[in-house]
Amino acid sequence: MEPLQLITPTTQNQPMTSLSLSLSLSSKLKLKRPNPFWFSSYSQLRAFSSYSPLSPSKPISASGKGVGVRAKVSDAQLKDNWLASLSCPFPQTRENFDGTADSTRTNSDSSWVIGVDPDLSGALALLKGDESGCSAQVYDSPHLKILVGKRVRRRLDAKSIVQLLGSFDAPLGTVAYIEQSNPYPQDGKQGWWSGGFGYGLWIGILVALGFSVVPVSSISWKNKFELTGGMSTKDDSRRVASALFPSLSSMLKRKKDHGRAEALLIAAYGKGLKIKSDLSCNPEVLVPQIGRLS
C-alpha cells in the first residue's frame, strides 16, 4: 500500500496580486454594476457636509437675529396678503344693474362699520356715523332648516344674507369685521363643520358684494371690553353691549341674544368705541323676519 502524500497547491504560497484579488472577490461576491445615483447622491452629500469657516465679519449672534427679523417680516407679509385677498375687489365706481355708473357707493371716508358673529346663532350689526353721532342696527343671522341624511338641521340662508346686505346700500369698500372661527374640542365634528361653513360663507358673500373683510380673533375684541378670562361669560357680553347701546338693552335680555350682543361689540371694536366714554350711539333695532330668533 503506497503512503498517502499531501500535495500543497503552489498558488497558495504565491503572493496574491491586486488584480487576482479583485477578480476573486468579484467572482465570489458577484458584485453588480453600481447605480450612478449612488455617486451623485454621495457627491451632493459631500457638498452639503463640506466645512467652511465662518467669516469673522458675521458673528453667530448677529446671523441668528437676522433670521428672526426675516421671519417676522415674512409673517407680516403673509398677513398683508391675506387681508388684501379679502379687500373689496371692485374699482371705486361700478355699474348699477341698469348699466349706468354708480359713483355714489365709494368708500373714500366711509364711517360705516359692520360687525359679524358668523355662528349659526350669531348676528350682524351695522354702525353708521355722522356729525350728530352714530346709529346702530342689529340683525339676526338668516337661517333655514334643511334635511341632512335623516336629521333636520339649521343652516345659514345665503340668499337671505345677500338680500340683507344689499338692502343697506353701503358704500363700496365698507369694512366688515368678522370674528375668526376657532373650533373647540368639545364642539365635535358637527360643530367644527358648522363653524367653518358659516365663517367661509360670510367672508365669500361680503367680499363678492364689495365689502372689505377684516377677520378679528375673539380675544382681540374681548380684550377691548375687558371680557377675557376664565370667569367671563356670554352674559357679560350682553351686559357690556347693553351699556354701550342702552337703547338696545331690551333686545339683549335673553341668553340666546348673545349673538346680537357680540355682533354689536365686534362692530364697536372696529369703530373704536369705548365703553366708558363713547356712549353717543342712537341704536335702531331692525330684526328681519327671515331668520328671526324665536
Number of H helices, E strands in the chain: 9, 10
For residue 294, the model assigns a pLDDT of 28
Given a cut of 70, whether residue 11 has pLDDT beyond it is no
| DSSP string computed for 105-122 | ---TT--EEEEEE-STT-
Q: What is the distance between the alpha carbons of residues 70 and 74, in angstroms, rounded to a whole number?
A: 6
Q: Is residue 1 part of a domain?
A: no
* Between 233 and 260, residue with greater pLDDT: 260
Q: Is residue 18 part of a domain?
A: no
Give tens-digit pLDDT for 79-109. 888 888 889 988 856 555 566 655 555 554 5
Q: Is residue 87 part of a domain?
A: no
Give tens-digit pLDDT for 238-274. 999 999 999 888 899 999 999 999 999 999 999 998 7
Give tens-digit pLDDT for 166-207. 999 999 999 999 999 776 676 666 666 777 889 999 999 999
Number of domains the chain is built from: 1
User: Which residue's entry shows cell 330684526?
Assistant: 287
For the chain, list the strands marked E by DSSP: 94-95, 101-102, 112-117, 123-130, 133-140, 143-148, 151-156, 175-179, 212-216, 281-285
Q: Is residue 154 part of a domain?
A: yes
Q: Is residue 47 part of a domain?
A: no
Q: Is residue 127 part of a domain?
A: yes
Q: Please give the share of the chain, as a percent, with pLDDT higher than 70.
A: 58
Residue 95 in 3-state DSSP? Answer: strand
Q: Please give the share of the chain, as a percent, with pLDDT higher than 90.
A: 33
Residue 127 in 3-state DSSP? Answer: strand
What distance, in Å, lies between the first and last C-alpha atoms of the chain? Answer: 122
Q: Is residue 68 part of a domain?
A: no
- Banded model confidence at residue 161, pLDDT cuts 50, 70, 90: very high
> How large is the average pLDDT for residues 44-59?
43
Side-chain-side CA neighbours of residue 258 (13 Å): 11
Report residue 283: phi and psi, to 5°.
-70, 150
Q: How many residues does the chain have?
A: 294
* Between 27 and 129, residue with greater pLDDT: 129
What pTM, to 2 d.p., does this model score?
Answer: 0.65
Task: State the chain's mean pLDDT as an integer.
Answer: 74
Q: Is residue 3 part of a domain?
A: no
- Asked if 260 contacts 138 with a C-beta cutoff of 8 angstroms, the reply is yes
Structural domain boundaries enclosing 137: 94-285
CATH number of the structural domain spanning residue 246: 3.30.420.10
For residue 230, the model assigns a pLDDT of 74
